[in-house]
Every structure is written in C-alpha cells, then in structure tokens.
C-alpha cells in the first residue's frame, strides 16, 4: 500500500513503519533530518499536508500524531498544546481527504481509552459512552468527532489506544529503572484498572484494521484481560525478579502532576470486543506472559 502517515517518528509510528516495511510511506514530520535519522532515507518526507502534490494518490491515511499526555502538569498552555497536536492535524487530514480527487480507501485515526472517562468497575466496550467527563474524555471525543467527518468519503477507523507496553518506549520504559533497582510498587491504592496491550499486538491489530475492509468505527486496542495497577506492578516485578513493595503515595502524584495525576491514580476497564469479534487473535492476553516476553530474563 501507499500510505500517508502522521506521527511516524513517534513510539508507535516508527515501530509500525519498521515492522511493515513492505508498504510505501509518506511521512508528515516537523523535522525531516531527525525523521531520516530514525527511519532512514527510503521514505518520502514532507513537513505539512500542504506540500502534497495535487496528483498524489494514497491507499490509506494513518494519523498517529499527538503530544504525549502523561508525565506533565495540565496547565492551560499544556492543555492547548495537547488539543492542537491532536485536533489540528486530524482536521488537516480530513480536509485533504474530503477534497482529494481520488480518495484513500481508509483513514485510521488515533484516539485513546480516555474517551470513556474514569470509572472504578464498569467494563467498557466500543458501544459504551463516557460515564464521567473530564479533560481526557473531552479531548478524545473532539478528536474522534473531527476524524469521523471523513467517513462519508472513506472507511474510517478510530484507534482507542490503551497503555502500550514496550521496553523501549511509553510507560513501561519509564518504569524499568526504579523497578530494576527494587524501588517500584503500586501507585496510590493500586486498585485502579489498567487497560494495557503488548506492542506486538498493537502493531498487528493496527495492520489488521488497515487491511480488513469491513472494519470501521471505534476499536479498543487493549488486551482482553485488563488488570489492576497492583497486579500490573506485581507481574512486572516477577518478570524482573525484583520486589514491588514500595508504593507511590497518591498525594505525591497529585503534588507532582496536579490534574494530570488522574491518568495514573484512576483508570478504565476496557475490553477489545469489536476487533475480537472480527477475528483478530491476541498473542498476549494476560499480563504475566506479556511482561515475561517484554522484560523477563
């Protein structure tokens, strides 16, 4: 396929491009030199959608752009940056799709399980709406709404992404050093749900949705067995052969991150019902097997 992709230099984007190198990629990036250092010279790079030639035809558009939402306070300025990095590029892509003489066959656009809002026990599937509205859910709902304005012109898929696990990026990479030193433990009370997915399953799921002509609408890209934070860190500690007795107090997270601490202290129990019903099989359904594959000795 000939694919136009935003967010190609990000954690998921670069793994996807390297994993499925049989496709041809045009990569939208603000820094072409950095992108070539990460991904090589064999791809086509542009700095904005406006630099596309009028006669270019793409089989698919994949939108993975967005500033990382975890790890920094949600100041007013930060919230605007998070919104702009998601909403503006998505709107630009939709505008291009809707005006293109030859439409792409599909548009896969990023989202997150934050769209459902925070809840202690409800198991969310794709048919559920948010039960609690906060900044994260509003951010994702607007993000999805913009993407869906392309669905009258192309098959549109929303990628509701959970916590993607890999030792070289994302949340797990940040956790490894303290856990290897025996300094890890549950965050807060540890009862909050974590809806995770092994990077391999995420990449394969994304490719499944790219190729499956019947797939459209929202999909939860999470493993079939979400776990509590306490179970998650215990599995990580077991895989590393390290204790996990030192908790991170809730008050410390709130002091450090303010409103953004909700992403770590609260959670959602999210199930990938739709993609499973369409025939996708997960290689890593339980957290213990995933952790041993990712970081086990």
Superfamily of domain 2-295: NAD(P)-binding Rossmann-like Domain (3.40.50.720)
Q: Looking at per-residue confidence, does 164 or 256 come out higher? A: 164
Mean pLDDT, rounded, of the chain: 94
The Cα 13–Cα 96 span in angstroms is 21
Q: Which of 140-149, 222-231, 249-258 has the lowest mean pLDDT?
A: 249-258
Q: What number is the average pLDDT over the span 30-57? A: 91
- pLDDT surpassing 90 at residue 132: no
- Residue carrying the six token digits 């391999």: 200
Residue 17 CB neighbour total at 10 angstroms? 22
What band does 259 get if pLDDT is binned at 50, 70 and 90? confident
CA angle, residues 279, 156, 136, in degrees to nearest 5:
95
- pLDDT surpassing 80 at residue 94: yes
pLDDT at 261: 81
> Which of 115-119, 143-147, 250-254 reaches the highest mean pLDDT?
143-147
Helix extents (H) in the chain: 11-19, 32-39, 76-99, 135-148, 170-180, 199-211, 229-240, 250-257, 262-265, 273-277, 287-295
**Are the C-beta atoms of residues 157 and 107 closer than 8 Å to each other?**
yes
pLDDT at 81: 95
What band does 54 get if pLDDT is binned at 50, 70 and 90? low
What 19-26 contacts at long range (C-beta under 8 Å, 24+ apart), as own/partner pairs, is 19/203, 19/207, 20/203, 20/207, 26/2, 26/52, 26/56, 26/58
In this prediction the pTM is 0.95
Q: Are strands 193-194 and 227-228 parallel, antiparallel or unpaired?
A: antiparallel
The Cα 235–Cα 288 span in angstroms is 5
**Residue 75 DSSP symbol:** -
Q: Looking at per-residue confidence, does 120 or 92 come out higher? A: 92
- pLDDT surpassing 90 at residue 251: no
């Amino acid at each position: 396929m000939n694919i136009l992709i935003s967010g190609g230099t990000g954690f998921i984007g670069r793994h996807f491009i390297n994993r499925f190198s049989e496709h041809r990629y045009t990569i939208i990036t603000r820094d072409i030199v950095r992108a070539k250092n990460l991904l090589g010279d064999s791809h086509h790079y542009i700095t904005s959608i406006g630099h596309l030639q009028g006669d270019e035809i793409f089989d698919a558009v994949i939108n993975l752009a967005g500033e990382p939402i975890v790890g920094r306070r949600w100041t007013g300025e930060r919230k605007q940056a998070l919104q702009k990095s998601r909403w503006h590029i998505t709107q630009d892509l939709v505008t291009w799709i809707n005006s293109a003489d030859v439409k792409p066959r599909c548009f896969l656009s990023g989202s997150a399980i934050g769209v459902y809002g925070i809840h202690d026990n409800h198991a969310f599937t794709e048919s559920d709406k948010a039960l609690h509205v906060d900044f994260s859910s509003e951010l994702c709902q607007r993000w999805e709404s913009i993407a869906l304005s392309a669905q009258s012109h192309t098959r549109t898929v929303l990628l509701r992404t959970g916590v993607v696990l890999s030792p070289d990026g994302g949340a797990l990479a940040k956790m490894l050093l303290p856990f290897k030193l025996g300094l890890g433990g549950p965050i807060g009370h540890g009862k909050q749900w974590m809806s995770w997915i092994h990077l391999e399953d995420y990449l394969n799921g994304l490719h499944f949705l790219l190729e499956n002509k019947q797939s459209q609408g929202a999909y939860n890209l999470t493993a079939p067995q979400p776990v509590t934070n306490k179970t998650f860190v215990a599995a990580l500690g077991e895989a590393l052969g390290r204790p996990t007795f030192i908790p991170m107090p809730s008050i410390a997270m709130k002091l450090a991150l303010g409103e953004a601490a909700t992403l770590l202290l609260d959670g959602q129990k999210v199930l990938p019902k739709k993609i499973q019903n369409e025939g996708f099989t997960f290689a890593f359904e339980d957290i213990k097997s995933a952790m041993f594959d990712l970081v086990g000795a």
